[in-house]
A and B are shown apart, each in its own frame.
Chain A
Amino acid sequence: MALKILKNDCTVCGACEAECPNEAISFKKGTYVIDPVKCTECQGQFDAPQCAAVCPADCCVAA
Chain B
Amino acid sequence: MNVISLDSIFGLGEMKSQPAPEASGCTTSSCGSSDGPSDMAPEVWEKVKNHPCYSEEAHHYYARMHVAVAPACNIQCNYCNRKYDCANESRPGVVSEKLTAEQAVRKVLAVAAEIPQLSVVGIAGPGDSLAAGAKQTIQTFEQLSQLAPDIKLCLSTNGLALPDYVDRLKGLNIDHVTITINMVDPEVGQHIYPWIFHDHKRWTGIEASRILHERQMLGLEMLRDAGILAKINSVMIPGINDEHLLDVNREVKARGAFLHNIMPLISDAAHGTHFGLTGQRGPTAKELKALQDKCEGDMKLMRHCRQCRADAVGLLGEDRGDEFTAEKVMQMDVDLDGGGFTKRETYREHVEAERALRHESKAAAIAEVAHMAGEKPILIAVATKGGERINEHFGHAKEFQIYEVNAEGAKFVGHRRVDLYCEGGSGDEDGLGTIIQAINDCVAVFVAKIGGCPSKSLEEAGIDPVDRFAFEYIEESALAYYADYSAQLSSGSIVEKIGADAVIRQGAYTSKRA
A18 contacts B133, CB within 8 Å? Answer: yes
- B133: which A residues are within 8 A, CB to CB? 18
Knowing A56-B73, A56-B76 are in contact, say whether A15-B131 is a contact too (CB < 8 A): yes
A54 contacts B71, CB within 8 Å? Answer: no
Instruction: Give chain B's interface secondary structure class.
Output: loop
Number of B interface residues at 8 Å Cβ cutoff, please give it.
Answer: 17
From residue A8, how far is it (CB to closest CB) to chain B in Å?
A: 11
A15 contacts B73, CB within 8 Å? Answer: yes
B82 contacts A48, CB within 8 Å? Answer: no
B132: which of A14, A46, A48 is its contact (CB, 8 Å)? A14
A50: which of B76, B83, B131, B200 is its contact (CB, 8 Å)? B200
Distance of A54 Cα from B161 Cα, bound (Å) = 14
From residue A40, how far is it (CB to closest CB) to chain B in Å?
A: 14
Q: Which residue of A lies closest to B95 (CB)?
A: A11
Query: On chain A, which size bracket covers the interface?
Result: 10 to 19
Q: CB of B324 within 8 A of chain A? A: no
Q: CB of B201 within 8 A of chain A? A: yes
Knowing A48-B202, A53-B200 are in contact, say whether A11-B83 is a contact too (CB < 8 A): yes
Q: CB of A41 within 8 A of chain B? A: no
Q: Which residue of A lies closest to B84 (CB)?
A: A11
A54 contacts B82, CB within 8 Å? Answer: no
Q: Binary interface profile of B, 174-202, with partner A (CB < 8 Å = 1, else 0)?
A: 00000000000000000000000100111
Knowing A18-B133, A54-B197 are in contact, say whether A13-B72 is a contact too (CB < 8 A): yes
From residue B233, how far is it (CB to closest CB) to chain A in Å?
A: 20
Q: CB of B74 within 8 A of chain A? A: yes
Among A42-63, those with CB < 8 Å from B are: 46-48, 50, 53-54, 56-57
Q: Binary interface profile of B, 70-106, with partner A (CB < 8 Å = 1, else 0)?
A: 0111101000001100000000000000100000000
Knowing A56-B76, A56-B82, A57-B82 are in contact, say whether A15-B200 is a contact too (CB < 8 A): no
B72 contacts A53, CB within 8 Å? Answer: no
Q: Binary interface profile of B, 462-489, with partner A (CB < 8 Å = 1, else 0)?
A: 0000000000000000000000000000
- A54: which B residues are within 8 A, CB to CB? 72, 74, 197, 202
What are 27 residue pairs bridging A and B, where the CB atoms are less than 8 Å apart in the complex? A11-B71, A11-B82, A11-B83, A12-B98, A13-B82, A14-B71, A14-B72, A14-B132, A15-B72, A15-B73, A15-B74, A15-B131, A15-B197, A17-B132, A18-B131, A18-B132, A18-B133, A19-B132, A19-B200, A46-B201, A53-B200, A53-B202, A54-B72, A54-B74, A54-B202, A56-B73, A57-B83
- List chain A positions with a Cβ less than 8 A from chain B: 11-15, 17-19, 46-48, 50, 53-54, 56-57
By Cβ-Cβ distance, the 4 closest A-B pairs, closest first, are A18-B132, A15-B72, A56-B82, A53-B202
Other A-B pairs, 6, CB within 8 Å; known A14-B71, A18-B132, A56-B73: A11-B71, A15-B127, A47-B200, A48-B201, A54-B72, A56-B82
